[in-house]
Amino acid sequence: METFDGTRRWGLATLLPLPAVLLWTALTASRASGKSLKRILGVRAFRYLTSNLSVSQVQYLLGNTMDVYTKWTKSVKLPRVADELGGAARLLWVGPKRLDRVIYVFHGGYFILPVTDFTLAFWRYVQVSLEKQGIEVGIAVLQYSLAPISTFPTPLNQARLGLEALLAAGVRPENLIIAGDSAGGNLALQLFSQMLHPLSDMPEIRPASPFRGLCLLSPWVSLTADTASVRECDGIDTMTERMLAVLGADILAGFPEADHAAFAEASKAPGTWFHGLRGLVQRVLVTAGSFECMRDDITRLGEGLKTHHPNVELVVQEGGLHDDMLLDFMMKESKLGSLTPLIISWIAAESS
């Protein structure tokens, strides 16, 4: 994807090479990966489109989070339940709204893209799977404002407003899991950074007790594409080195102050930054894929969190890509990878 000021026009020229790209992928794909050809082609198409379309084109194609949520709830015959938080922020409920146990979700998308229908489908699958174990949970997805119109600290403040709304509605911190994938994982860590190092121009967050869990799925924790895994996995992962570098630079420009650096890039925060995390959350799950460009940044973060919290689980999925579990739902795979059941088991243990 181009930078925010890119002016590449929509045209057939952008899409014409795609069939040839997919044909070549089909002919050269390794069956040893354990992935279906459908998924391999879907990943290649996803990488091609996000690498060759501009930000404005992709935003136009996908619409906004409320549009995606409304269409998805209608397609799966679920109620559309949205709690207004003010401005463009809302809590969008997946399935029935319930407050006894809640997973508070921040979606990914490089801070520029809305939630996807397959992200909603993933969390609905998690919800139904938990129900089969006798564990009922409400899932609230935050609709937050996107770049380039909105930059830091707007999404963070909206995340805070959503959290305060849930707590004010009666959700107990010990029954609340905060979860985020990709940019959503970055936002979740911003929220905990605000608890530990409050910004002077934003109300402090003081939970009455530790939260039940923090679930970070392929979190985008460094906005500079400068690790070995970025180069190693370029052309394999759903993202590319160039895309990460360009988008990361644009987002990082929205953190102009030196004391905002750790909010932007948690993996590069000072060693003591997350001291006190143990008093804020009971357990932490961090996941990455072995073929993920962000792998090194994520593992660095996970190992760093372990020095401040005794219950941090870091999982690197063998052969996994960025947000690997979501890709299964994007392609409507019948056979899911290892991360989805692992995440469900982790949440179930948290909720027992």
CATH of 63-228+260-351, one of 3.30.70.260, 1.20.58.110, 3.50.50.60, 3.40.50.1820: 3.40.50.1820
Catalytic position from the list 56, 150, 182, 218 = 182
| Whether pTM exceeds 0.85 | yes
Please state the rounded mean pLDDT for residues 250-275.
95
Tokens encoding 64: 């906004």
For the chain, give every domain's residue range. 63-228+260-351
pLDDT value of residue 35:
81
C-beta of residue 177 within 8 angstroms of C-beta of residue 106: no
Better pLDDT: 306 or 6: 306
CB 177 within 8 A of CB 215: yes
Torsion of Cα atoms, 28 then 34 then 38 then 41, to 10°: -40
The tens digit of pLDDT for each residue in 59-92 reads 888 899 999 999 999 999 999 999 999 989 999 9
pLDDT for res 3: 52
User: Which of 10-14, 108-112, 346-350 shows the lowest mean pLDDT across its residues?
Assistant: 10-14
d(CA 1, CA 239): 10
Token digits of residue 295: 């792998």
> Quick one: pLDDT band at residue 44, thresholds 50, 70, 90?
confident
Average pLDDT for 171-185: 99
First-last CA distance in the chain:
43
Give catalytic status of residue 182 as yes or no: yes
